[in-house]
Amino acid sequence: MERKEWVQFEQVSQVVLLIAMCNWCLSVEVGFTAIQNKDKNGMVKEYEREVMELTNLIKLVQGKLEKAMRTRIMCMITMDTAGRDKTEKIRNEKVSSPEEFQWQSILKPYFKEEEQDFLFHICDARLWYTYE
């Protein structure tokens, strides 16, 4: 299912935004894996994917939406723009590993299945989300 579809499900916006942020982190790390597997364009491809996803969200708000859904998608556009800018910086600075400071210094959520909760990483700190 495409992102532009699941973002419109009748779920709590907080959860949808968290999932979107988590997916962004995982996608950037796929870009790092591609680079480590000798695909020099791994982060370029990730950046292009992000631009496409952002464009799809912009097209959604150009249509008819209820106020709450429009607000949710506008929040996602803001988050996606920030993510796109971070990915562009990572790409331009030729960061090639998730262990490098440019990636470590970004607050990133990861879903931990055992705990059924999200754990945020930034540098050497780990913080449970706990839906607060």
Q: Whole-model pTM?
A: 0.89
Each residue's pLDDT tens digit, 43-86: 999 999 999 999 999 999 999 999 999 999 999 999 999 999 99
Report the length, in residues, of the chain.
132
Domains of the chain, CATH where assigned: 3-128 (1.20.58.1120)
Q: Cα dihedral sign for 75, 104, 22, 85?
A: positive
